[in-house]
Amino acid sequence: MDFTISTVAPIVLLPFLAFAINAFIVKRFTTLGVILSCASILGSFFYASRIFFHFLNVYNTDYVIHKTFTWFDLSYGEFPFKLDMGIYIDNMTATMLFMVTGVATLIHIFSTYYMKDDKRYGRFFVYLSLFTSAMLALVVSENLLSVFIFWELMGFCSYSLIGFYYEKEGAGNANIKAFMTTRVGDVFFLFGILAIWSVVGSVSFVDIYAALGAGKFNGLYALGIPLATLAGASIFMGTVGKSAQFPLQVWLPDAMWGPTPCSALIHAATMVAAGVYLSLRCYPLMEAGHLTYVIATIGGITAFGAATIALVQTDIKAVLAYSTISQLGYMVLGVGVGSYNAAFMHLITHAVFKACLFLSAGSVIHSLHDHHTHAHVQEMPRMGGLKDKMPFTFLAMLCCTLAIAGIPFFSGFVSKDRILGDALLMALHNKWYWIPTVLGFGGALLTAFYMFRMMFLTFFGEPRDKDLYDHTKKETLSWNRNVPLLILSVFTLGVFYAGSLSGQGIVKVAHEKYEWFQTLIAKPHVETFTAKAPQAFGWTDEGSMTVSEKSHYDPDHGLSEEEAHHVHHVHHIGALVSIVIAFSGVFIAFMMYITRKWNPGFWVSLFSGWYRALQNKYYFDDFYIKGLIQKGLIPLNNLLAFIDMGIYDRYAVDGWEKVNRAMFTMAKWFDNIIVDTVAVDGTGASVRFFNVILRTIQSGKIQFYFIMIILVLTGYIWTLNI
Amino acid sequence: MISLPSYLFLSFALFIAGIAVMVARKNIIAIMLGIELILNSAALNFAAYTRFANDNIDGHLMSLFIIVIAAAEAAVGLAIVIRFFQIKETIHIDDAAQLQN
Amino acid sequence: MSPSVNEYVNQFEIHQKLVAMVSDFLGFDASGLMAFLVFAVTAFAIVNVMALIGGLGTYAERKISADIQLRQGPNRVGPYGILQFLADGVKMIMKETIYPAQADRALFNLAPVLALLGVFATLAVVPFSSGFTLANLNVGVFYLIGVGSLVGVAVFLGGYAANSKWSMLGGMRGASQIISYEVPVTITTLSIVLLAGGLSFGHFVENQGGFPHEWFIFHNPFTFIGFFVFFVGMLAETNRAPFDLPEAESELVSGYHTEYTGMRFGLFALAEYIEVFVLCGVAVAAFLGGYKVPFDLGNGVIFVEKLGLPAIIGKNIGQVLQLGSFVTKTLALYYVVIWVRWTFPRIRVDQVMTICWKYLTPIALFNLIGVVFWMYAFDNQSLWEILSHLGGGSHGGHH
Amino acid sequence: MFNDTFFLLSAGLTLAGALGVVFTKNLMHACVMLLGTLFGVAGLYACIGADFLAASQLVIYAGGVVILMLFAVMLTGGSSDQANKFGIEKIAGMGNTKTYIFAGVSVAVISLTLLKIMAGYMKTFEQGELPPLTSTVEEIGTLLVTDHVLAFEISSILLLGALVGAAAIARPRKG
Amino acid sequence: MTSYTLDVYMPVIILMAFAIGLVLISVFVAQILRPFKPNALKEQAYECGEEPVGTAWSNFNVRFYVVSLIFIVFDVEGALMFPVASIYRKFVEIGEGAVLVGSLLVFISVLVVGIVYCWAKGDLDWVRSFQLSDEQINQLKGIEEKA
């Protein structure tokens, strides 16, 4: 089979066409539009599976389909100015395509059940199609710029989906929050693209790898930082925004305002996965930029911190949201410790079981209908004992919970264990890595605990809201509700990921020792990393590279006997520890919520301060709103306004008088401060003073912004010395 | 006489003139005149490089599309200006400051 | 492909000798200088003839209107009053120039210049004959549309600068009418470009023949309609009756040149008359076979080979025939324009816009699509060719 | 000989027009100056063999955009500096001392920056043999329906959007 | 493809020079021959004998703008279609006409959508039809009866 752009394009174009047509007919022919969307994503899945099985048949780590066409070419002589567009499909992309289209198909089908009675039933599918198409385009993108384009398109789609119920104030705020927060990361991302362009002269992944191998980044510094570090960090900031990593994780829980199927799509298959996918793609750059430790730490912090917050949530979707952040933390941790394919594997397994979890939660929520408020119920304190009412949903959710908790034989165990094992390996090598590693293990414990807490609160025990329970109908099997759940829950079994496939036919015991993920997904091939600058915390390259490179069960680039043994040993320890941890988490939850031997209230009162902090999500929102925006951005805005109005308008005109007056004001200010209020409330007075001055002068002047743009651009040109 | 440096200089001059107009004027239509100048300078640059440093004429298409987009921009921009005038009875740019605060 | 006048002249030995002589005399290559001279002389001739035609146009207008209205018309100055236009010209020069007190003097002076500039610049591409064309630009008709739009600006500025209410209204009306009718005219031109396969007037004319059945107007039914769309649009673009809204005496006194006196008014009028001639010429070149003469007499080959005349004479006879063909057709159209003016009543301003946007533009678009499909379906053949093929076609076209 | 004359005429017209736009204080005059600049630029295009671009420049800019600008000036109250019935200054000022100072500063900064970049290019640039001028119309047409067909079609949609949007914005309201 | 030199633009420049020259000469001649005795009455703008009130530079109806808007869109689309149209004949001759028919049709149909929109929204009506209220009709009737 020979794949060209036109044979790959249907994967992206089918959903996009469905979107384009659907957007116009949705008002009159809702059903037709929905069928169109579902059919298109099914077709897309068909094409994606062709590619996926093609790659499985080839079964070669280095096999890549890389086709480009010139978008525009304005280069002349030695000044290259050429931009290509195209596709870049390696094993990772193929797997990703298969997963995204598959999960999206199931979510589409489930949505026909879940959104049936919604008044904007058709429009939901319009967004879903566009969203899926953007994600697929991002996955097959060949260069960073087109990644960025679809990245932003996806940002827009998530904005629309989160604010789907825009009548609700919370939804309106949540989508703005999501949009703005991810935008912070995107700005950095764009800057990273510019930095790469300035060095490589191209933004294609292949060219970037080649440039890294050729050492083009060596000895390049901007603002005293190595350019590779700057670029890698900027791109990683994009991941931080999109994949909701610490400290930009605040938007994701609020994304719950969207309909549940769209949460499943955002949290599982598309949006957040895109961030991790990007950092996997740019992994060599980050390694060359010595960013691995930072990445690992951020991942660890996110994994643990989000898990702690999830402990105290009562909204079933909120628990899942925080568990998503936590799991994303694991993926980033995996990236940080060089566990490339385990991170990717966790991305895939997580996508499957998280989609299933959300769909099950949606199924639960959809069934629980409050007859007084005419709203669906999401609060766990009002649930309980639902396993008799909806046994099928319960079973599906149980599978997924087992998977996410890291119970053996389920997919989550396979991938998370591997990440943690690699982290342990790194930690044994370098003591600083103990921090993310311990955070990771702690997070695993908490994950097992809160997920089972959720299960127990929802499905076990006595129904706590009798009225609600009685009104809930017994689950009837309907194809568009249960088939997606069934398929997804089957795929939570670890055997699909840890099995070995190869050669002709799909499953063949060729590499008995090696699981297909491990042998198929490999780091982008970069010859040498020549940057030798010392890393943070006294950590030097030479050791780290060898071990992290060799820590993969790579049959071709063989480890020495001894090293392989060491690696296996460490991994076995890690696996044992995580099994113990997972079961103890389940045990604690069991003791607390089933047998009621241990009273949760006691623990709450013991750690009341912590509890409050957790309930307020570590005060992140407060910090952003009160601290950053009110104390930081608005004064900055005021300062800029001051420069605009106070300097630009005022001093240029009748300068001397104004200067005099300003001197006088300054003198008075010093007088007041020094004579009156130095000791008493100096700080407060100065803040108030600035506020009074700056608040009165506000700017909305376009020309001032224009001048600022000019200055920034010229500044950029002068500093980068183009 | 007809050479790349002279064309670059002309385009440079147009660009500078556009910037000057955009910054110095307070009248929205006058600012749009400045924008047209800047767009012209960009299009001129494309055409000049096409002639002096390139084999294909893709640059001409680039200029053509710049001209097309400039026309669209002028149409929409001026419509907005006219509407703005109908509402506010002024086209002073500092009165278009709804974004303040 | 028809060359410009310079290349045409260059093919004669005598001119080459002259160039060599001048080069010897001056001591440098004088071909550029000679080209300049040739162009300048030709342009001077054309401009003068055009001014004459403009002047005679006023006379013809009055005479024809008188004829139509059973009056005498001018008959005092010269035989049959034919020198009337000279008398008018002298009157205009002698008249005092009045600047309205509140006028914008600079623009007031500039407006007629712009009008004249736009019209004169269009003259460069009008194909009088295959050798007697000033410039056969690659973008001929497109250039003509672009330069011609200066007239719209001039009309607007003329109305604006005087700062009189009548002028302003006339200027606004005139400008919006001119630009509106440019749309159907442009689209109709597009359908001719499709047929001609090029933008230059050389393409236009060379793809037609001397006989009416080889003209583009009879190429297919769509171009036949297109010709009338073009003609109506042309009338409106030149502010001719029945579309003379911008200068409707009964409504707007005199429209955008209410405040113009003396020679400036004269320049406006001159520009208008020349524009009518130029657009008639464009219509002839695009639809009515241009300068083509039947039996290919125009290229002079017959005179040289059959009659054995010297090349310089034979070719020039051909040129004269071509010129005659072109000018005859153009003047015939010119007559029709004047005829229309004195036959149809002026239409209302809303009807002007209705005719343009609701009739002419859709029809022009329909024609364009029709021509596209015609060419695609019948492989570029004209109606005549198809019919002659059907009828066994012994006397078919010469393509 | 003529080449240089033509170029100098066009360049002179361009520069004079641009300077006029910068320095005139009358909006209507500025529009007319812009017309001059646009004609000059069309001449410059013609000088480097971009004949179709030159004609497009004339048709779209001189025939379209300038008329649009002139109309817009008239629709927003002409160019007289007088107060309207609400006492607001009707036509906003064409700038004052402080804006001039700021314009000067920005122009100086950008000039320095651009000249720096241009100097770098100029040093390394060497002019090779220039190909003869040929008609670009057919080539542009072919490119428009082959390589750039998407841009061609999308620009029609862009223009449709501009038309619909602008008409919706500017449409006279009832009452 | 035949090449050309910049000399083809020579006549354009010459003709433009003639235009300006003609204006200058005629104005100059007129300057010598004509009388020049301005007075305030003569310089008044002509308003049928009435004293002009205010200036003519006032607001105009937005319809003018809408018309010019439609015009510019058609103008630009025309500019894009001209080069395509000029190669159509050749493409038909070599049997590749279908490609151009397709892209031209798409282009033109988008154009048609624009004009249909404007038509439907009434932008093409110079005088917008309006309905008189009953009160106004009665008023008009009253005036008629009085007369």
Please state which of the ranges C45-49, D67-71, E42-46 shows the lowest mean pLDDT.
E42-46
Question: How far apart are the C-alpha atoms of C138 and C130, rounded to whole Å?
Answer: 15
Q: For A431-456, write each residue's pLDDT tens digit.
A: 788 888 888 888 888 888 888 888 88
Domain positions in chain E: 6-146
Could you say which residues from 159 to 198 on chain C have a Cβ atom under 8 Å away from some Cβ of chain E? Answer: 160, 162-168, 172, 176, 179-180, 182-183, 186-187, 190, 193-198
pLDDT-above-70 percentage for chain D: 86
pLDDT at E12 over 70: yes
Mean of the per-residue pLDDT values of chain A: 76
**CB D109 to CB A649 under 8 A?**
no
Question: How far apart are the C-alpha atoms of B99 and C301, rounded to whole Å?
Answer: 76
Mean of the per-residue pLDDT values of chain C: 82
- D104 is written with which tokens? 């000067």
Phi-psi region of C253 (alpha: psi -120 to 50; beta: other; left: phi over 0): left
pLDDT at A550 over 80: no
A128 in the same domain as A81: yes
B58: nearest CB among A74, A699, A701: A74
pLDDT in the model for residue A574: 80
pLDDT at A374 over 80: no
For the segment E119-142, the average pLDDT, to the nearest whole number, is: 70
For the segment A202-231, the average pLDDT, to the nearest whole number, is: 78
Interface C:D, Cβ pairs < 8 A? 77
What is the distance in angstroms between the Cα of B42 and the nearest Cα belonging to chain A? Answer: 13
CA closest to D113 among chain A residues: A714
Question: Which of the four pLDDT bands, split at 50, 70 and 90, describes residue E52?
Answer: low
Please state which of the ranges A547-556, A644-653, C159-168 shows the lowest mean pLDDT.
A547-556
Question: How far apart are the C-alpha atoms of B37 and C67, rounded to whole Å?
Answer: 54
pLDDT at A507 over 50: no
Q: For A408-435, write each residue's pLDDT tens digit.
A: 888 888 888 888 888 888 888 777 888 8
- A98 is written with which tokens? 């298969």
**CB E80 to CB B68 under 8 A?**
yes
pLDDT in the model for residue D174: 56
Interface test with E, best of C7, C267, C376 (most E CBs within 10 A): C376
pLDDT in the model for residue D16: 92
D163: nearest CB among E73, E78, E85: E73
- Verify C-A touch: 3 or more CB pairs within 8 A: no
pLDDT at E25 over 50: yes
pLDDT in the model for residue B39: 92
Could you say which residues from 150 to 189 on chain C have a Cβ atom under 8 Å away from some Cβ of chain D? Answer: 150, 152-153, 156-157, 160, 172, 175-176, 179, 182
Q: For D104-163, write each residue's pLDDT tens digit.
A: 888 888 888 888 877 877 777 777 778 888 888 888 888 888 888 888 888 888 888 888
Residues of chain C in contact with residue E78, where contact means CB-CB under 8 angstroms, are 183, 186-187, 190
What is the distance in angstroms between the Cα of B75 and the nearest Cα belonging to chain E? Answer: 6
A629 in the same domain as A609: no
A592-596: long-range contacts, CB 8 A cutoff, minimum separation 24: A592/A453, A593/A452, A593/A453, A593/A456, A593/A457, A593/A460, A593/A461, A594/A456, A594/A460, A594/A461
- Verify D-E touch: 3 or more CB pairs within 8 A: yes
Please state which of the ranges A587-591, A606-610, C385-389 shows the lowest mean pLDDT.
A606-610
Nearest to D118 by CA among A712, A76, B7: B7
Q: Are E64 and E123 in contact (CB under 8 A)?
A: no
pLDDT in the model for residue C88: 80
Last residue of a domain, one of A127, A142, A157: A142
Last residue of a domain, one of A586, A615, A644: A615
A654 in the same domain as A608: no
Instruction: Look up residue A213 and give its amino acid.
Output: G
For the segment C125-148, the average pLDDT, to the nearest whole number, is: 85
Q: How many Cα atoms sit within 13 Å of A4 on the Cβ side?
A: 2
A628 in the same domain as A599: no
Question: Which of the four pLDDT bands, split at 50, 70 and 90, describes residue C353?
Answer: confident
pLDDT at A513 over 60: no
Q: For C338-348, write each residue's pLDDT tens digit.
A: 888 888 888 87
Higher-confidence residue of C283 and C23: namely: C283
SS3 A595: coil
Question: Which of the four pLDDT bands, split at 50, 70 and 90, describes residue A535?
Answer: very low
Question: How far apart are the C-alpha atoms of A229 and C77, rounded to whole Å?
Answer: 93
For the segment A9-30, the average pLDDT, to the nearest whole number, is: 82
**CB C376 to CB E30 under 8 A?**
no
Domain positions in chain C: 100-390
For A699, the domain range is: 623-720
pLDDT in the model for residue A700: 52
In a domain, A469, yes or no: yes
Q: For C140-163, write each residue's pLDDT tens digit.
A: 888 888 888 888 888 888 888 887
Total domains in chain B come to 1
**CB D156 to CB E1 under 8 A?**
no
pLDDT in the model for residue D87: 42
Question: Which of the four pLDDT bands, split at 50, 70 and 90, describes residue E131?
Answer: low
CA closest to B80 among chain E residues: E65
A535 in the same domain as A452: yes
pLDDT at E47 over 70: no
Please state which of the ranges A329-333, A628-632, D72-76 shows the lowest mean pLDDT.
A628-632
What is the distance in angstroms between the Cα of B55 and the nearest Cα belonging to chain E? Answer: 16
Q: Neighbouring chains of C at 3+ CB pairs within 8 Å?
A: D, E
pLDDT at A692 over 60: no
In a domain, B101, yes or no: no
A639 in the same domain as A603: no
pLDDT in the model for residue E35: 72
Total domains in chain A come to 3
A599 in the same domain as A628: no
In a domain, B85, yes or no: yes
What is the distance in angstroms between the Cα of D17 and the nearest Cα belonging to chain B? Answer: 10
Task: Supply the angle between the helices A91-114 and A121-140 in degrees, to the nearest 10.
Answer: 180
Q: For B63-73, write each residue's pLDDT tens digit.
A: 899 999 899 88
pLDDT in the model for residue C128: 86
Residues of chain D in contact with residue C32, where contact means CB-CB under 8 angstroms, are 1-2
CA distances from A237 to A97, A107, A184, A191, B72 (A): 24, 29, 8, 10, 36
Question: How far apart are the C-alpha atoms of A672 and A675, rounded to whole Å?
Answer: 5
Question: Which of the four pLDDT bands, split at 50, 70 and 90, describes residue A541?
Answer: very low
- A404 is written with which tokens? 């996410």
pLDDT at E133 over 70: no
pLDDT in the model for residue D15: 92
Q: Interface pTM (ipTM) of the complex?
A: 0.65
Could you say which residues from 68 to 127 on chain D have a Cβ atom under 8 Å away from some Cβ of chain A? Answer: 97-99, 101-102, 106, 109-110, 113, 116-117, 124-125
Whether D83 has its CB under 8 Å from any CB of chain E: the answer is no
Residues of chain E in contact with residue C268, where contact means CB-CB under 8 angstroms, are none
Q: For C82-107, write each residue's pLDDT tens digit.
A: 888 888 888 877 777 777 777 777 88
Q: For A555-580, write each residue's pLDDT tens digit.
A: 444 455 666 677 777 777 888 888 88
**CB E16 to CB C349 under 8 A?**
no
Question: Which of the four pLDDT bands, split at 50, 70 and 90, describes residue A543?
Answer: very low
A523 in the same domain as A580: yes
pLDDT in the model for residue D89: 47
Q: Neighbouring chains of B at 3+ CB pairs within 8 Å?
A: A, D, E
pLDDT in the model for residue A184: 79
pLDDT at A538 over 50: no
CA closest to C367 among chain E residues: E108
CA closest to D20 among chain B residues: B17
pLDDT at A500 over 70: no
Mean of the per-residue pLDDT values of chain B: 84
pLDDT at B94 over 80: no
Q: Are A34 and A122 in contact (CB under 8 A)?
A: yes
Question: How far apart are the C-alpha atoms of A232 and A240, rounded to whole Å?
Answer: 12
Q: What is the CATH number of the domain that holds B58?
A: 1.10.287.3510
pLDDT in the model for residue C378: 84
Could you say which residues from 63 to 92 on chain B have a Cβ atom under 8 Å away from some Cβ of chain A? Answer: none
pLDDT at D79 over 50: no
For B25, the domain range is: 4-95
Task: Supply the angle between the helices A479-490 and A391-405 in degrees, to the nearest 10.
Answer: 30
Task: Give the ranges where chain D is alpha helix by DSSP (H).
Answer: 2-23, 27-47, 51-56, 66-75, 97-124, 137-145, 149-170
For the segment C102-116, the average pLDDT, to the nearest whole number, is: 83
Peptide bond into A284 cis (omega under 30): no
Q: For C3-28, write each residue's pLDDT tens digit.
A: 777 777 777 778 888 888 888 888 77
Whether E75 has its CB under 8 Å from any CB of chain B: the answer is yes
Higher-confidence residue of B73 and A550: namely: B73
pLDDT at C349 over 50: yes
pLDDT at C310 over 60: yes
Question: Which of the four pLDDT bands, split at 50, 70 and 90, describes residue D14?
Answer: very high
- A630 is written with which tokens? 């009110």
Question: Which of the four pLDDT bands, split at 50, 70 and 90, describes residue A626?
Answer: low
pLDDT at A512 over 50: no
**CB E57 to CB C354 under 8 A?**
no
Nearest to C399 by CA among C391, C390, C386: C386
pLDDT in the model for residue A695: 46
CATH fold group of domain E6-146? Methane Monooxygenase Hydroxylase; Chain G, domain 1 (1.20.58)
Q: Are A642 and A693 in contact (CB under 8 A)?
A: yes
